[in-house]
Structure formats: C-alpha cells, structure tokens
Structure 1
Amino acid sequence: MTTVLDLTAIDPRRRDLVGGKAAGLAALIGLGERVPDGFCVTTWAHRDGEVPEREVLAAYARLGGGPVAVRSSATAEDLPDASFAGQQDTFLGVSGAEDLLKAVRACRDSLHSDRATAYREAAGIAHGDAHMAVVVQRMVDAEVAGVLFTANPLTGTRGQSVVDAAPGPGTAVVDGTTTADHYVLDDTPPTGHGCLTPARLAELRETGERLRDALGAEQDIEWAYDRDGTLWLLQARPITTLFPLPAPSTHPGTRLYVEFGHVQGMLRPATPMGMATLKNILAGMLAAFGLTAPVVDIGGRLYGDLTDAMRDPAMRRRLVGLMAVDFGPRAQAVVEHMLDDPRFAPLSATRRRGAAALAAGPRAAAGILGALARPAAARTRVFDELERLRREPVTDPPTTAELLDLVAEDSSRVDPIVWPVVSGLVASAALTPLLKGIATDEEIATVLSGMPHNVTLQMDLALWEVARAAAPHRDLLIDTPPHELAAAHLAGGLPDLGLDAFLDRYGVRSAAEVDVGVPRWSEDPAPVFAALAGYLRVTDPGQAPDRRFHRAAARAEAMLAELSERARRARPVRGRIAAFFLRRARELAGLREA
C-alpha cells in the first residue's frame, strides 16, 4: 500500500492512485518537461483516513524543506470533460512540518467543500467515485507567472494561443483577483508589452504547441518564470470548453460547415435516432437542389459541408440565394462574403462533380413550377399524402435495428410533400429582391403573417378551443404545475378536458419535433398543459388567438393588394411578377409546417 510517491515515480495512467493533477505532472515529466520537484500523498492515504505524517515529512526532507506548494489532486480532476479548476484548495509558500501537515489535511477536506460537491453534481460524477490525493512541490520563486491556453477559449479558434500573465506567483491570474496582461498569439511574431517579452511569448507558444501535439488535445497550462528566467511548468490539463472539431475530411483544405438544427428549433444536440434519420432526409433534400453537401455530426449537432458547392462554378452563386430561403440574411451575407475567399475559389474538377449532382434538377424544377402553377392542387396532394401516412397501419418491429430501418425507409417517402413546401419557401424568398425599393421588410413580413394552410396555426386554434371548453377547470389548470397535470392525465386522474381528441390528432408533435428521438406530446403532455394555462390567462377577448389570427390574415391580404398595386405602378412588368409571387407566397408558404 503506497501512501507517498515521488512525482518522478508516478505512472501517469494511475489517476485512481494519484489524482488528475499528479498524473498530469507525471506525464509532463515523462515528456522531459521542466517541472518543480515534489511528491504525492496518494488516494490510498485518503482511504485510510489519517495523513501518513512520517512518510510525508520524510518526503519533505528529501526536497530539502523550505517553502512548498500544496495542491489538491482529486481523481475526478483535470478530466477531458470536467476540469474542476479552482474547485478544491491550493496553499502556496507553506514552510515547516506543522504547516505542511495542516495544508495537506485542508486540501483533503476540500474534496467535500460546497463548491466541489456542487461541481461534481453538475458534472454527473458520483461523490463516492471521487478520492483525493495531494501534490507537494518545491515553490518556484516566480518573477512572472500565469496561464497559457493552446486554443482561444473564448472564440474556439485553434490557430491562436492565449496567455494571461502577471508579476509574482500567478495565483491572482488563476483566481481572477488581478488584471492580468493579456496576449493573443498567432502565426505572426509576438509583440511584447506588459510583463512578458516577445522572446518569452514565443517560448510559451512553442511550449504549448509541443505539449498539445504530445498529449493529443488542446491544453490549459499553468507556468512560471523564475528569477533566473527559467520556464517551469506547474500544470497541464485538457481545455474542456471548446466545441468539438468535425471529423477529419478525406479532402484537403479548409471546409465550410453550416449548422442546420437551429432552423428547426433544435436548441439541444440531436438524439441518436434523430441524427440518423435527419442525415438521410437532409442529404436527400440537398441533392434535390443539386447540392452535394454531406451532412455530418459535430458535437451532436447537424452540419452541412458546403465546401464542394462553394467551389463549384455552377453552384456557388446559386448557393447564396438558397441560404436566404431558410437561414436568413446574416447567413446569406456570410456565404456571399466567402465567395471572395481564395480558399473557396471555384475548381474545374468540382464542376464535373456538380454537373452530376444537378441531375436531379429537372425533377426539382418540375415539382416547384407545378406547385406554383396550380397551388390548390399542390396543397391537396400534400394533405392527402399526410393523411395517407397517418392512417397507414404500423407494426412495431421486434428489434431496434429494424425500427431504424423502418424510419429510414419512411423518410424517403416524403417526396410528394417536399416540392409544394419548397415552392412556398422559394416564393417567400423571392419577395425581397422583387420588391427592393418598393416595399420595406416590415411590409413583406405583414404579407407573410396570418398564413393560411398552416397546420401549426390550425393546431394552435384547436388548442384554443380546448381551453375555452376547459374554462370550468381554470383554477386547476393554472394553479397546478404542468408536469403534475401531465402525470395525472396519463394516469387517468383528471376530469374530461376535451384533450384526448386534441392529442389523438396532434400528440405526435413536440418541440424540436424534426428529431424523431425526442418525446412526443402523447408521451409527455406537460408542454400542452403549459400552453393551456397560458390560454386560460387571456382575459381580453380581443387578444384571443382566433381573433388575432383573423386580424393578421386581414392585414396580410390588404397589404398584399397594396404592394401588388404599388409594384405595378413602379415597374409594370416586374410588378406583375412580384404580384404573382406575393399571392403564391400566401397560398403555399404555410405548407412549410406540413
């Protein structure tokens, strides 16, 4: 049973024995880096309860006595996804046997401090899985000290290193009690100011890059320069706050990724089933536009790799317009700006690949033009197909793999719905350029409000009718938390509120519903009860959802007529085209919610 180990004798893999900080220091020593001499009071000693005083003082004597740093080294510390930075105690400049033993005990006790306990709970780490070791190292008489991040922790930029430094031992930099000198380093020669010279900044950057490459991850490094100008490394741990990089591409050069999930209200990472199905659906829809844009999982979120489309002479300008359809003017402006970036210059080889991708173009054109020509027929096809899918019997597959196959197969059957929906998006996106100088953004937005043929608006109005019928139970629905109402409803413990028919129709829906792996309202109706409570708080008849919808629809129709007339007067030919797209936007854009 080992209770005290010299740092040079530690196996970096024995985090269970020496904790995260000591394991990290042992790894630095193994790489040949300059680390202050010291020893570790292991977790075995912590499990035995008492501090092994004789062994600790013998190790302290081998260091030659004098001032030392006493630092916590918990087993749940300096993990790739949880740093525990500042959560447990450190004592600097400790001298003498009595003060050393007191500091070791205080470090061990800090494992159970309120802040460390709360951090473990937030990180999902069981308290029983955490044990404490203690590192004791010779103090560095620091002229200047601080922290080095091998990637910019604020922007996530991997090509930058960030240094914060201050004169003295560096504790004020780590705990944030002083205004440190701040440096952002990139490939340009560093400019010295404050407490660090250009030579020391260059040395720090080089050291960080060396450690990052050797340890296989971006690093958060504590360091100090002593009075002789020697650089000492006091700690290195992975940076835990960086958003993950995409998997390495098989193609060389810089890649351009656009996140898709937020467009559909996916504010959290996708579930595994949602990720699997959405990859297939989005890849198919992008291919229909002639885009070869692989859909990839980065940090549990959906990204499209638009690099090949950006480098395709036939697609790059078209891509700018497509961004406006769903991503809005900011994303459109960014992509347009990137057209001038030499890293995304058009390639002739990409043109041949793009021509193959555009093979789906005629089908897309036929679907969109057909819907624009006959919007009523297009709407009928959409809702007939939805009803057919709704009524089609589904047999529960016996295995998860077969369920995934079924969902993937069904996701390929949405083609009859896609083109009428896309035609509405195209008509809406066409309004801003067609009405430039004629209508404001607010006027165009008015035309697109109170939209007919919108299943979500129809659902909201249906829930309003449920709320009106449930008025006798108003106090129950307002005063009871939604999750309690949901549990009572599923258990059959609520009075008849008329909610069953609503859930029969709309229970397949949910927030972020495009992710098929999230719970549906039929499984967890708490959000429905929250919405009901909100409706029941409406006391002004003029604010009733049905009246607000009808007012918005009336304003939209009036604005449509006004803009159509205004556009014809300003530009007769273009004005007639604008009037056509204004009307088609009203007739088709609501299908998006299908």
Structure 2
Amino acid sequence: MDNQQHGKHRQEDSTGPDVNGQVFIRDIADIRADMLPEVGGKAANLGELNAARLPVPPGFCLTTSAYRYALSAIGMEEIFALLQDAGASDLDELNRLATRARSLVLDAGVPTDVAESVRAAYRKLGDAAPVAVRSSATAEDLPFASFAGQQDTFLNVVGEDAVLDAVSRCWASLWTDRAVSYRTTNGIDHATVTLAVVVQEMVDSATAGVMFTANPVTGRRREAVIDASPGLGEAVVSGAVNPDQYVVDTQSNAILKRTLGDRQVEIRSLAGGGTERIERAGHTAASENHAAATENYPVEPCLSDDQIRALADLGRRVEAHYGAPQDTEWAIDSSGKLWLTQARPITTLYPLTSRVPATPGAHAFLNFSLAQGLTRPLTPMGLAGIRLIASSVARRAAFDVPDPRSGPSPYYEAGQRIFFDFTSVLRSKVGRAVVPRIFDIMEARSAAVIRGLFDDPRFAVAIKTPIRLIRHVAPVAAKYRVPETVLRALFRPDAAMKRQEQLGAELHQALRVPEGITAHQRIAHVQRILGEEVFATVPQVLPLPVLGFAMLGLVRKVLGEQAPLDQLQTVIRGLPNNVTTEMDLALWQLAREIREDPEALAFLGYPTLEELVQQFKDRELPAVAQSGLEAFLRNYGHRAVAEIDLGMPRWSDDPTHILGVVVNYLRLEHTSDAPDQQFAKAAREADEQVARLVARARAKSPLHAKLVRTALDRTRRFAGMRELPKYNLVLGLASAREQLSLVGAELAEAGRIELAEDVFFLDLNEVETALAGNKLHQLVADRRADYAQELRRRHIPRVLLSDGTEPEATAAGGSPASPGALSGSPASAGVITAPARVILDPVGAHLEPGEILVAPSTDPGWTPLFLTAGGLVMEMGGPNSHGAVVAREYGIPAVVGVPDATLRISSGQIITVDGAAGTVTTTPGDAPG
C-alpha cells in the first residue's frame, strides 16, 4: 500500500479557493522543504518525507496565508510591539500578553472563506474521516531549535465543524505561555512567526512512539533508540507513560537493549471522535508481585524483533534523506502497517568533527577549547589563527604539515571548537602515564574521562616505549635550549628573569608592521606571526613555571607529612611575576585613583555604561579617569574575553567590559577587603609559610634547609609566570587582529563584505578570494548564523569519539557527598557562605562585592571580577587551571570542575563553597535546581 492508498485518494486539486491570490490549502503530496514559510516546519518535513516515498499518512495543510488572513484585523500589532519590549525574565508580562493574544485569536475564529477551503479539502479525505489536526509553526522543527510540544495537536477529530474548531485552537496555541516564553528566550521575533495547520488521516495505531536515529544521550550515531507503547503515540510524546525502549545497532541491525515500560497509561481513539486515557492502576513492570501484575496486563514487549528492525531500517532511510540524525514519530496500525508521522532534526546532538580521520577505526578527540577555559565557539578567523599556531607547533616537533592553514593532522574542529585527536596518547604507555596527570591540574574532569577510556579495547596500548615521543620532543628542546633554560633558572634565577625580559622585547619587535603595506602583505604578516613567531616564546618561557611547580613537589618529598598540601597551597598565594594579577591590580589601582577624585567619581557614578564608553571614546571623561584608562589600555588593551579567538574584539577595540569592571570596583567600600590589601596579605602569609617550612627542614639538617629554601624561592619567582606563554600568544593574536581589521575595512569599502568586522567570519583563503574580487556577503551571513547558533549551546563535551559518543555521558555519575551538595575539585582553600551570582559572559556583568561567582569557565578576561568575588565555582577546570590559580592568589575559596553548576545554582541562592573539600552546598531548604 503506498502513501496515497491509505484511506482515500489524494485530493485531485491541491489548492483550495483563494482570496486576493492567497493559497489557503496545500496537499501534503505537493509540499517540499523550501515551502517552510508557507506551510511551517511540520508540514514541510511531512512533504519531504512523502516525496522520499516514505510511509506518510495523506492529508492537507492550511497555509500560513490563512493564519495571516484570519488575524489581519484583530489588533495583534499592539501585542507584537509590547512583546518586543518584554524581557525573557519578565514572565508575568509575557504570560499576560500571551493570554490577550489567545483570546483575540479564539474570539476571531475561522473566517468564512477560509472555512470553506477547509471544508472542501476535508470532504475529499472521505465522509467524516478521523483526522489529526496538528500545528505547524514557521519557527518549528528547525535545525537550531526544536519547538516540539510548543503548539497543540488534536487527535481523532471527526466532522467539518470539529476540524474548524481544532484549527482555531491550533492558531491560538501559537500564543500559549510556554510558546511565547520559548520564542522570547531564543530571540525569535513574535511578529515573524506564523502558523500553518496540518490535517492528516488518523492512524488508529496498535502501537506507536518515537525513534531517534542516533542516541540522544550518549551521542552515538550508530544507535537508534526506539520508545514504544500501546495505543496512540501521544502517551509517549507527552511523557504520560514509561514506554518500552529498544536500542538497535544500525550497522549490524543487532538489538542491543530491551527495557520494558510500566504501561500504566494508554491513549486510544474513541468512535465518533476524541480520545480516551486508560490508566492501569497498580501495574508496574518492576512489580515485586510479578504474577499478580501480569494477570491483568501481561508484561510483553510492544514490538516484535522484526518490527524493531523494520523501524530501525525506516530510521536509516529518513536519516539518509536528510543527511543528519532525526527525531521521528511513528505508528503501527492494526494491520501491522508502519507509518511515519513526523521527523525533525535532533538538535541536542553535538556535531561530529568537520573532517574524518585518515586512518580507519575509532578515534578519540580531546576538547582543547575547554582546556583553555573557553566554552563559547570560535569565529572562523579565530579557528584559522589556531590552525596556524598548531601547525607551527607540529612543524617544530618534526611532524609533516603539508598545508599550515589547514592545521596539523591531529587538529580537528567540531561545533566551532578546537579538538585534538589523542588516540595515539591513549594507545601509548607513556601517554597514559603523563597526559591524565597534566589534566589532573588543568581540567580534572577531563582527566577522569580520559582514564575512563583506558579499558576500551579500541584504545588498547600499542606503543610501549617512549621512542616516538622523544623523537618529536627532542628537536623542540634542542632548538630552544630548554635544558639551558632550566639550569639557568635553578642556579642563576636573576639571569633567567633578564632573559625573559629580552624575549619579550624581541617579540614586540617581531610584531611591528612597516607603514604603508598592502592588504596581501598584511595577510603575510598574520601568517608569519601566527605560523612562526608566537610559538617560539613558549618553549623558552614554559620551563620556568614548570620548574616552579616542580619545586613544590620536591619540598613535599623532602618534608613528607610536614609539608601538607594546604600549606604548600599557601606558598603559591600572592605570587609575583604574574601578568594577569598585575593587570587586575593595575585596574584596581585605577579605580582607587578615580575614587579619590571627586569629579571623576561623581561622573562615573551617574551615566549609563554605554554613555561612559562613548564619553571615553570622545575623550570627554574627567582627566583622572580618561588618562588612567588610556594608560591601562596601552598596557593591556590587547587582552579580551575569550582572547585566544582573534575574532573577538580586544579591550582597546571595545572598552565596555573594562569600564563596567571599574564601576563595579567602586562599589567595594571596605578597605580591609581591598584587593591590593588582600594580595599583599596573601604574599605575607606565603613568606611566613616559607619560613616555617624552612625551619622544619633545618630540624633535619642545614642541607635540607638550604634545599627547601632554594626550592621555595624558585617556586615564588617562577610559578606566577604560568600566564606568560599565553600572554605572549595573545600579543601575537592582537597584532594579527589589527592587520586583519585593516584588511576588513578595505574589503568593506570595496563592497566585497558589508562590515569591516565581517572579515573575522572568513578564513585567510577566503579573504584572499575577496581581495581578488569576489563578494562574500552570503557566506558571511551564513557563518554569522552558524556562530549565533553555537553560542546558544550549553552542553560541550570534554571528549568526543569519532562515532559521536560522549564518553562522559556513558559513564556512571558519582553521587554528591551529601543531600544538596555539588562536588568538584578543590581549588583554593577556605569556606564562604554568600549569595551566588551566575554569570555566563563577563562583559557587562554585575557582581556585588562578596558574592560567589558561578561561571562555566574563566580565562584572563574574567579575572577582574575575581577582585570583588567572595568565592568561585566553575564547571570546568582543575586545581591548577587558570581560575583556580588566580583564586588562590587572591585568597578566595574556589571549587572547579562542578558539572552543570550554572544550571543547578541560581543567582541569589545562598551557597557555601568549601574550597578544601571541593564541595558546594546550599542552605537548608534551598537545594540546587
């Protein structure tokens, strides 16, 4: 039986009567994906499925033209305007406006000429045919957001009048509270969203449900997950029943898992129209009294093995048609015929890598973006810059890199974030020993995920000697004289510091650009800086902070239990030579100078932040504020939030964040809590702790004392320099950005792109194409849309396998230490109880002094907020990640690596951060959501 043979034949005429050229009716058989503005997402998908000769019940669609025609004179314009001004957090106002809109739509009803079109189309389906009347919004079932369940569906509707009533209610459901709130939150203009209505013949299903063609929990692309229950699929879709669940390996067609549901609810069609809900009280598939339970309702699978495999095969066909995993709805009628009633993209799946590994077999990719404290995506040019830097590293390590602009072979991108293929690390005995330990201090949860892959037979150890590693590390160590740098730092620390100053001067000289160069020469400058100059500083700087932290380990070995970890942690508080803390304290000093100037203080306390920024750009701030900010930006204007992305504006480009932080600092009134005082106090406590540890060593012998004193001196001198390699990297990125901005201005003036900053949504090859004369407006628009879509993504995997699996999702999660507690990694000792402030983006963020900052991750662009924070909670990071180190230096309690902290903690919630225990708890009766 084909699609048109179910029930009655398709309509002879695919369109109904029209008014002023507006088409009100489209047959599903005539609908295609590009008709979404006319028929909405659901109908467009159904038309596509039908065109692919998939088993879709026949029917018709009442177009968006009919919706607009019906609502053209009922006064919705005022509601559109009011919704435009309402914020996503103003739920009361949103709900009030939604109620007004629904009333207007329902009161208007279906206009006579539209109603006649519906009646005529319905009659062609047969005399009193049972149909499903389903909403199909233009902002529904889209690739970037699934609006499933936002609008209403009416099942088993019988009769023309009943269909018209259902149509009116579908229109009104576009204005439910949840739909209005969802659109507002996702930034969708309410005035642009319209609704079509699908009317399809009902499948009087014996069994129905949903099927994901990829596993939505683990991300595994080769597993179909099928939920099934007797009766109509509404019971499964609405969550009214715990369905049977079947997992199928779509490559081998093997059924991997069967889980039987409780069957407590079943929804069935009623004769004459409508549905009934059948509840089977007391039944549970896991009942202890299994015999008693099954006597009334046998616990048997809803689907046979043949039906399960037939569904999986159908899912493969649907996915093949769309070229992406799909969330489908299906039904099996009383004759055993399988029907497809919907398909939409699975919007929650994290994207696969943008290219496929050259070698076959399973591959594991480590999220380098998260290791850098970056959860947001990178711009296309930002990714292009990282590819050049990665290629520079790989070439220095004697790897073959045919095209530096494409990146080295281990470099990958997924979801506009940076990943590295670390399969060889997992298969290496040395790699397994070293890399997880590095991540223990960088990003502790990533380390746990890495170790979780050790037992996977696909990543069994195959490289048992360090020869290959030495072959790649030795050239770098030799070229940049790493042993000499370490020995100099150990025995001539002052000379080591002078060498670092010299390296900084050499880098600044290398970044200079001659006057009057061409756009192509600017591109060549970017290629040289990122592909050659920037990395050279890393192996010459990094050994110093590594030595500094290694010396702590030496002291631990020498003193044993007399040097507990919490006391060693005190040693690395208030560290000198940290460019990031120096920056933060310089900004605090500026705020203090402004506070002491009545004119500047009064001025900064009055205008809005936007006005302040404009006044600064116009050089109209009071002298103390104007000159102080200019001096700060001369030194640190190359920095930014998410600064490893050269596509992100630098503070010198947009000082909004810095001005906002200064205003925030002015709110900190208690001098005892002043950040500079806290930092100085931390440094004194560190010196005192060093003296105590040296005294304990002296009790062993004078030699022990000298060894411990020297080791801790090197720790204090060099550990703070851990920020310097990245600081130098960011200098290079800022220089590259400056040149690309000039190229962008030239392209915009020539009409090749619209705005100068559009250049950061291209890569270097595409910029050269634009310089050659091509106009790239559409490409930029597409890239901006993709970037905006990724900005909304909250869940970012730490590790991604080549089949889409997220190992962290497949591992059993640990339980909190106590009810209401969230667990993470201890980062900075201390306990504080205070209100939480959840901040996802530091730009323009407001943090009251003493509040606990709760963030997804942090990089140096966040650290000015640390000076007024009472504590820190981060979703990412390890004990030695950037945020943890800075928190220790400022002496604020911190816990990092807390899963979903920004979702489970709310702003204003009173929480307790125990930085030594690694826990975050709420006060009684105030548990995390």
Query: For the superposition of Structure 1 and Structure 2, which TM-score range results when normalised by the shorter chain?
Result: 0.7 to 0.9
The 5-angstrom pairing of residues 128-147 of structure 1 reads 130-147=193-210
Partner of 1:270: 378
Q: TM-score, with normalisation over the residues of structure 2?
A: 0.57
User: Is 1:548 equivalent to 2:655 in the alignment?
Assistant: no
Return the offset for 1:501.
1.6
- Gap regions ≥5 residues in structure 2: 1-20, 71-110, 250-254, 264-300, 400-407, 725-929
Return the offset for 1:264.
3.3
Return the offset for 1:386.
2.7
Please tell me whether the aligned partners of residues 308 and 350 of structure 1 are also in contact (alpha carbons under 8 angstroms): no
Equivalent position amino acid for 1:191 in 2: R
The 5-angstrom pairing of residues 65-144 of structure 1 reads 65-108=128-171, 110-111=173-174, 116=179, 119-120=182-183, 123=186, 130-144=193-207
Distance 1:285 1:569, change over 3 A: farther
Partner of 1:61: 123
Partner of 1:233: 340
Distance 1:165 1:576, change over 3 A: farther
User: Is 1:477 equivalent to 2:604 in the alignment?
Assistant: yes
Q: Determine which of 571, 589, 593 is the counterpart of 2:719.
A: 589
Please tell me whether the aligned partners of residues 379 and 591 of structure 1 are also in contact (alpha carbons under 8 angstroms): no
Return the offset for 1:5.
3.3
Partner of 1:418: 538
- Please say which of residues 353-362 and 21-30 is displaced more in the overlay: 353-362
Equivalent position amino acid for 2:344 in 1: R
Please tell me whether the aligned partners of residues 451 and 586 of structure 1 are also in contact (alpha carbons under 8 angstroms): yes
Distance 1:574 1:402, change over 3 A: farther
Please tell me whether the aligned partners of residues 164 and 183 of structure 1 are also in contact (alpha carbons under 8 angstroms): yes
TM-superposition CA deviations, 1:237-262 (whole Å, max 9, x none):
11112111112111211112112223
Please tell me whether the aligned partners of residues 453 and 587 of structure 1 are also in contact (alpha carbons under 8 angstroms): yes
Please tell me whether the aligned partners of residues 147 and 173 of structure 1 are also in contact (alpha carbons under 8 angstroms): yes
Q: Determine which of 57, 70, 75 is the counterpart of 1:36.
A: 57
Please tell me whether the aligned partners of residues 145 and 169 of structure 1 are also in contact (alpha carbons under 8 angstroms): yes
The 5-angstrom pairing of residues 363-402 of structure 1 reads 363=479, 365-366=482-483, 368-370=485-487, 372-373=489-490, 374-390=492-508, 393-395=512-514, 402=521
Q: Determine which of 630, 648, 663 is the counterpart of 1:533.
A: 663
Helix, strand or coil: the match of 1:191? strand
Q: Determine which of 605, 611, 618 is the counterpart of 1:491.
A: 618
- Gap regions ≥5 residues in structure 1: none
Partner of 2:433: 317
Q: Determine which of 242, 248, 260 is the counterpart of 1:193.
A: 260
Distance 1:390 1:369, change over 3 A: closer
- Please say which of residues 461-470 and 24-33 is displaced more in the overlay: 24-33
Helix, strand or coil: the match of 2:413? strand
Q: Distance in 2 between matches of 1:169 and 1:575?
A: 79
Q: Distance in 2 between matches of 1:534 and 1:314?
A: 48
Distance 1:275 1:441, change over 3 A: farther
TM-superposition CA deviations, 1:349-401 (whole Å, max 9, x none):
99886565343343364365245334433332333333454466435777766
Q: Distance in 1 between matches of 2:587 and 2:33?
A: 60
Q: Distance in 2 between matches of 1:566 and 1:184?
A: 64
Partner of 1:301: 417
Please tell me whether the aligned partners of residues 477 and 532 of structure 1 are also in contact (alpha carbons under 8 angstroms): no
Return the offset for 1:569.
7.3
Q: TM-score, with normalisation over the residues of structure 1?
A: 0.86
Q: Distance in 1 between matches of 2:235 and 2:654?
A: 49
User: Is 1:509 equivalent to 2:639 in the alignment?
Assistant: yes
How many residues are paired up? 592
Distance 1:268 1:483, change over 3 A: farther
Equivalent position amino acid for 2:538 in 1: V
Distance 1:55 1:540, change over 3 A: closer
Q: Distance in 1 between matches of 2:484 and 2:659?
A: 40
Partner of 1:279: 387
Please tell me whether the aligned partners of residues 455 and 593 of structure 1 are also in contact (alpha carbons under 8 angstroms): yes
Q: Distance in 1 between matches of 2:686 and 2:389?
A: 33
- Please say which of residues 573-582 and 363-372 is displaced more in the overlay: 573-582
Q: Distance in 2 between matches of 1:574 and 1:150?
A: 65
Distance 1:334 1:130, change over 3 A: closer
Partner of 2:365: 257
Return the offset for 1:451.
1.0
Q: Determine which of 184, 208, 211 is the counterpart of 1:148.
A: 211
Helix, strand or coil: the match of 2:537? helix
Please tell me whether the aligned partners of residues 144 and 224 of structure 1 are also in contact (alpha carbons under 8 angstroms): yes
Q: Distance in 2 between matches of 1:337 and 1:265?
A: 22
Please tell me whether the aligned partners of residues 463 and 502 of structure 1 are also in contact (alpha carbons under 8 angstroms): yes
Distance 1:433 1:454, change over 3 A: closer
TM-superposition CA deviations, 1:541-577 (whole Å, max 9, x none):
2222222112211222333344466578789999987
Q: Distance in 1 between matches of 2:331 and 2:708?
A: 67
Return the offset for 1:221.
0.9
Please tell me whether the aligned partners of residues 205 and 331 of structure 2 are also in contact (alpha carbons under 8 angstroms): yes
Q: Distance in 1 between matches of 2:493 and 2:382?
A: 31
Helix, strand or coil: the match of 2:123? helix
Distance 1:345 1:101, change over 3 A: same
Fraction of identical pairs, as percent: 39
User: Is 1:405 equivalent to 2:524 in the alignment?
Assistant: yes
Helix, strand or coil: the match of 1:413? helix
Equivalent position amino acid for 2:591 in 1: A
Return the offset for 1:68.
1.1
Distance 1:440 1:363, change over 3 A: farther
Report the aligned-residue RMSD. Answer: 3.7
Please tell me whether the aligned partners of residues 483 and 526 of structure 1 are also in contact (alpha carbons under 8 angstroms): yes
Q: Distance in 2 between matches of 1:280 and 1:441?
A: 39
Please tell me whether the aligned partners of residues 389 and 535 of structure 2 are also in contact (alpha carbons under 8 angstroms): no
Equivalent position amino acid for 1:335 in 2: I
Return the offset for 1:62.
2.3
Q: Distance in 1 between matches of 2:219 and 2:662?
A: 42
Equivalent position amino acid for 1:542 in 2: S
Return the offset for 1:278.
2.1
Please tell me whether the aligned partners of residues 150 and 212 of structure 1 are also in contact (alpha carbons under 8 angstroms): yes
Helix, strand or coil: the match of 2:60? strand
Distance 1:130 1:547, change over 3 A: closer
Equivalent position amino acid for 2:590 in 1: V
Q: Distance in 2 between matches of 1:289 and 1:330?
A: 28
- Please say which of residues 240-249 and 100-109 is displaced more in the overlay: 100-109
TM-superposition CA deviations, 1:222-280 (whole Å, max 9, x none):
12333455432210111112111112111211112112223433231112232222232
Q: Determine which of 547, 567, 570 is the counterpart of 1:446.
A: 570
Equivalent position amino acid for 1:257 in 2: F
Equivalent position amino acid for 1:381 in 2: R
Please tell me whether the aligned partners of residues 221 and 234 of structure 1 are also in contact (alpha carbons under 8 angstroms): yes
The 5-angstrom pairing of residues 201-220 of structure 1 reads 201-220=308-327
Distance 1:58 1:270, change over 3 A: same
Return the offset for 1:220.
0.8
Q: Distance in 1 between matches of 2:694 and 2:349?
A: 50
Helix, strand or coil: the match of 2:533? coil
Q: Distance in 2 between matches of 1:206 and 1:459?
A: 59
Please tell me whether the aligned partners of residues 227 and 246 of structure 2 are also in contact (alpha carbons under 8 angstroms): no
Helix, strand or coil: the match of 2:648? coil
Please tell me whether the aligned partners of residues 371 and 443 of structure 2 are also in contact (alpha carbons under 8 angstroms): no
Partner of 2:351: 244
- Please say which of residues 110-119 and 224-233 is displaced more in the overlay: 110-119
